[in-house]
Amino acid sequence: MRPATMRSRLILGFALVTVPLVIALLWNNLYATKVVHSQVAQSNRNMLTMYMNDMDQVLGEIENYLYKTAEQDQSLISLSQYGKESWEYYLATTQTANDLNLNINYYDAADILFAYGAKHDELLVAQQQSVTYERKQLIQEKLREILTSSADGSGRRWSLVEQNGEYALARIVDTHYDSYIGAWVDLNRLMEPMRRLGQDGKGEALLVSREGVPLSATGAAVREALGSTDLSAYLDDGKAAYNIVKLDKPYLFVAKSSRMAAMDLLLMLPERSLLEGLPFFRNLTYLIPMLAAAMLGLYLLFLQNSIVKPIHQFIKGMRKIRSGDLSVRMEDYKLQEFLALKETFNGMAQQIEHLKIDIYEEQIRTQKAELKHLQAQIHPHFFMNSLNIVYQLAQIRDYEVIQNMALHLVRYFRYTTRTQVSTITIKEETEHIYHYLSIQKYRFPETLEFEFDVAPGTEDAEIPPLIIQPLVENAMVHGFSIRTGSPFRIRVKVSQEGEGSDRTLLIEVEDNGKGLSDEQAEQLQERVHEAEPGDRSLGLWNVVRRCRLYFKGPVKMTFSSAEPQGALVTLRLPIGLDKGKDQETPRGDKR
């Protein structure tokens, strides 16, 4: 598990302090908002109760008038008792019409008072002055439809009547003498006193049927907001004092049912308007989280500059020292604790730098001595082979070949005895290999061939001396076999990869001899890269060791099989190459 950082601990500590406070304040604000909702709902419910009681009282008074008239008015009772052409019928209709016109002024909530004689289908109507003639005709048609559609058009409550998208209340009382009296109340006119709520934008009041159908006219904005909302779920059920309903915006719904008709008075208040009288309270609800976030940001910025940044600088400096950069020094900080750490750190870095310089100089002296010793180890090995070749040539008394052989030997040993030289070029090394293979050519004139392939621009690359010869000598010792048919061939190739400081020098020695198995190649690769030399492959290990001492970088030697047969040894050296002029490189002699 990854250990926690100081920054995470500080943030966690700040959160443990501030988050509970923010939650408590938000909860307090939500509770206060709920209290405001309850108080506003209760206040408006009281207002709705008062207005609905007034509405029920008006409807009750009209209903009482209808019952009293149905029981006591002889002219109304006589509407169906006499013939239509009789004098008594004329007096009854006249008296009934006069009574209706007289009482319509008293019961101003009713748009129309009417009487109906079923025997002669006589409908007498008295309307308010606000009712137009066209409106009167439409109401009469609706009343005739109601009165003639059933055997008994009366009922015990006010009935909702829909006409051309508008709603009204109708109450019909039966005299039990085949005549009726009733009243028509337009709900839109009944709701006129409540329209003041919608005019100032603080809410909207409307009458709603028990099925949730709006009965009174509403503003276009409210109609669009309601849409297909089922209002029956928010009517007065005696349980919930109010409901918060989200339409186009949140609304507070308060409802009160009527005792006289199957309808409710519903008040819609925009929730936003409820808190308009408490601007500080409302703004505080949104300001607290923002303020806490701003405080957290300032707190983190302070910690970043005062504590976290200096600590990161110290960690960065320690990593640089671990990677070998001892020149890093810490800058001054304002806190006393960091000043003490800075002085200690800089003093420690300076002491380590001086100590490492002393150790490094001593290591260089040791490596130089070791390099000369490793270089000297190669000389006796080839010297004994060379004497053996001269001895064999002397036996056959080929003096011309001995002279050429001696010339190659002189040049060869002149090169190998320059122990004071620590760096040579690719051109010098390949010339030395040319002399070595020429000497071997005299031993095997018919069975040995060699060639060089040095890429232009690599001739002047600097390398330690005698790093290619062990590869060629190893091919001669382990890969060479006297065969009939095709000669033994050695190919030395020098090329480069990459660009700039990433350029790599590739030295490849390929032969068509016995070759290597995969297991042998893997074992050789492990031996030459070991920290200490083993009993075998000492020459190849010397090559890798000397190159590492010289380049102080990754040196890699790989072994693989050549195509169609033989072995391929590749040496990769990390060196930046300077392209020199194309110079003649000794090529293979295929005599």
Rounded to 5°, the CA angle 533-534-540 comes to: 60
Using omega within 30 degrees of 0 as the cis cutoff, is the peptide bond preceding 564 cis?
Answer: yes
Orientation angle between helical segments 279-303 and 6-72, nearest 10 degrees: 170
Question: What H or E segment, with its residue span, contains residue 505?
Answer: strand 504-511
Per DSSP, what are the bridge partners of residue 321?
none
- Domain boundary among the residues 174, 190, 206 is at 190
Q: Say if residues 471 and 477 touch (Cβ distance below 8 Å).
A: no
Q: Say if residues 90 and 124 touch (Cβ distance below 8 Å).
A: no
Q: Domain with 376 in it: what CATH number?
A: 3.30.565.10
Residue 496, number of CB atoms within 10 A of its CB = 18
Q: Say if residues 179 and 158 touch (Cβ distance below 8 Å).
A: no
Question: Is 560 inside a domain boundary?
Answer: yes
pLDDT of residue 172: 92
Question: Is 88 inside a domain boundary?
Answer: yes
Question: Is 395 inside a domain boundary?
Answer: yes
Q: Domain with 151 in it: what CATH number?
A: 3.30.450
- Domain boundary among the residues 190, 225, 256 is at 190
d(CA 434, CA 452): 9
Question: Is 348 inside a domain boundary?
Answer: no
d(CA 104, CA 100): 6
Question: What H or E segment, with its residue span, contains residue 543?
Answer: helix 538-551
Q: Mean pLDDT per segment of 10 residues, for the chain of length 591 residues? A: 63 76 72 67 75 89 92 88 87 91 90 90 90 89 84 68 88 90 90 66 78 80 73 75 75 83 84 62 68 77 76 79 75 72 78 72 58 52 67 74 80 75 88 88 82 91 88 85 75 88 88 87 86 74 85 88 88 66 40 32
Token pair recorded at residue 558: 């790989």
Q: Say if residues 42 and 241 touch (Cβ distance below 8 Å).
A: yes
d(CA 472, CA 461): 19
List of residues 6+ apart from 439 with CB closer than 8 A: 386, 389, 405, 408, 409, 412
Q: Which one, of 360, 378, 426, lies nearest residue 541 by Cα?
A: 378
Q: Where are the alpha helices (DSSP H) in 304-335?
A: 309-323
Strands 159-163 and 204-209: unpaired
Q: Say if residues 423 and 395 touch (Cβ distance below 8 Å).
A: no
Q: Say if residues 476 and 449 touch (Cβ distance below 8 Å).
A: no
d(CA 204, CA 258): 18
pLDDT of residue 64: 93
The whole domain housing 386 covers 359-574
Question: What H or E segment, with its residue span, contains residue 255?
Answer: strand 250-257
Q: How many domains does the chain have?
A: 2
d(CA 139, CA 144): 9
d(CA 39, CA 46): 11
Cα–Cα distances in Å, from 99 out to 66, 83, 182, 230, 459? 12, 21, 13, 43, 134
For the chain, what is the total number of helices (H) and then of strands (E)?
16, 16
d(CA 285, CA 295): 16
Question: What H or E segment, with its residue span, contains residue 507?
Answer: strand 504-511
Q: Say if residues 171 and 260 touch (Cβ distance below 8 Å).
A: no
Across 397-429, b (16+ Cβ under 10 Å) vs e yields eeeeebebbeebbebbeebbeeeeebebbbbbb
pLDDT of residue 282: 58
Which residue has 């300077």 as its token pair?
578
d(CA 326, CA 50): 90
pLDDT of residue 235: 82
Q: Say if residues 164 and 138 touch (Cβ distance below 8 Å).
A: yes
Question: Is 316 inside a domain boundary?
Answer: no
Transcribe 12-45 into DSSP letters.
Answer: HHHHHHHHHHHHHHHHHHHHHHHHHHHHHHHHHH
d(CA 590, CA 119): 144
pLDDT of residue 197: 57
Is the entire prediction scored with pTM above 0.85?
no
Question: What H or E segment, with its residue span, contains residue 204?
Answer: strand 204-209
Orientation angle between helical segments 336-396 and 399-416, nearest 10 degrees: 170
Question: Is 152 inside a domain boundary?
Answer: yes
Question: Is 586 inside a domain boundary?
Answer: no
- Domain boundary among the residues 168, 190, 212 is at 190
d(CA 155, CA 146): 12
pLDDT of residue 589: 43
Question: Is 169 inside a domain boundary?
Answer: yes
Query: Counting beta carbons within 10 angstroms of the beta carbon of residue 461, is it exposed (0 to 12), middle (13 to 18) or buried (19 or more)?
Result: buried
Q: Say if residues 479 and 514 touch (Cβ distance below 8 Å).
A: yes
Token pair recorded at residue 484: 């009939």
pLDDT of residue 151: 44
Rounded to 5°, the CA angle 207-210-215 comes to: 30
d(CA 80, CA 122): 9
